[in-house]
Amino acid sequence: MPLCKIGSRTGFTEGRLGALHVTDLQSWSKNPDGSWNKVRGSLHEIFPVAPRGTFGDPPGDSGDIMMDRNGSFVGLYVGGFLESGTGYFMEAKDLFEDIRAITGATDVKVP
């Protein structure tokens, strides 16, 4: 699947969704009662398509939106590796689930 982002530092970058689905991204959050809650998520890998840049960006592009070739929001760019040019993003549905869980919102959407 073709994907792209317009990076804060790097401008337009084009890539393809990789077969690798990185799982078990973990963090912990403290509940109001003092107990701890383990939060798990997943990321998708993106491979660059030449000649339109690399996803292994220098600092500054994290948090940029990922779009499909129609310009539809598909997720949030997290970061990448300069050496390989690959990048990682969180899919929109996972991002929205996190927002609901953290904020207590009942509905999250992009206009």
Q: What is the pLDDT of residue 63?
A: 87
Gyration radius of the chain's alpha carbons: 15
**Does the predicted model carry a pTM greater than 0.85?**
no
Q: Which of 51, 41, 53 minimizes the C-alpha distance to 10? A: 53
Per-residue pLDDT of the chain (111 residues; tens, 9 = 90+): 889 888 888 788 888 887 766 655 667 778 889 998 877 778 888 888 866 566 766 678 888 999 998 999 999 998 888 777 788 899 998 889 888 888 888 888 877
Q: What is the pLDDT of residue 20?
A: 66
Strands 73-80 and 87-91, sheet pairing:
antiparallel
- Distance, in Å, from the CA atom of 87 to the CA atom of 46, rounded to the nearest integer, reads 5
Phi, psi dihedrals of residue 108, rounded to the nearest 5°: -130, 130
Q: What is the pLDDT of residue 21?
A: 65
